[in-house]
Amino acid sequence: MHIRDDGDSFADIWPFSIWDIFQAKRYRLDSLDGTLDTWFAGATGRFESEHFLAELAGRFEWWDGSAQVEWLERVDVLFPFFFRYERHHESWEVTANHAAQLDTALWWKTGAVSIRLSGRAMFPFSTHRTHSSGGGGNPPPPGEPPAPRSTSDSTHGGLLGTLELVFGR
């Protein structure tokens, strides 16, 4: 999957209202770029009888992705007539590059009632990557180091369960 929008936008990000003329703080989207590539290998097993069904599926996934966004912040020079725009930049990378996913389903049917219990578990494996944030669009003066980069690492897995009761034939 790849998303890209490049070029200055003339539409502000926030909704318009009549009172916006009195506010100097406005934001415009300048560019947006993101990619996410996912590969996986998996296997599925199934056992079935007249009144019972059991399924188990598992897969191992490889992820690679990143995103970056640039936006412009309106700053007043001589309010409310003259403004300038200050450029900001954020970029992210996928913090987990491997994951295991396990799906299960159990189904019972007796007469006019059937019950289905299903679940999914996701276990991402994290590697350390960086999140960089840049302030305004002005580069540092010669001889000064660039602005510090913030580093964050976040990994989220999860469990999902569903119980279905069906009455009738």
What pLDDT does residue 97 have? 85
Please give the model's pTM, rounded to 2 decimal places: 0.53
Spatial distance between the Cα atoms of 118 and 160, rounded to a whole number of angstroms? 8
What pLDDT does residue 134 have? 52
Spatial distance between the Cα atoms of 48 and 52, rounded to a whole number of angstroms? 6
What pLDDT does residue 103 have? 96
Name the residue ranges covered by the structural domains of the chain.
2-167
List pLDDT tens digits, range 82-127.
Answer: 778 888 999 988 777 889 999 999 999 988 899 999 999 999 886 5
Q: Which percentage of the chain shows pLDDT scores above 90?
A: 31
List pLDDT tens digits, range 26-55.
Answer: 777 778 888 888 899 999 999 999 999 999
Beta strands in the chain (DSSP E): 2-6, 26-48, 52-78, 82-93, 96-110, 113-126, 132-134, 158-167
Spatial distance between the Cα atoms of 164 and 122, rounded to a whole number of angstroms? 21
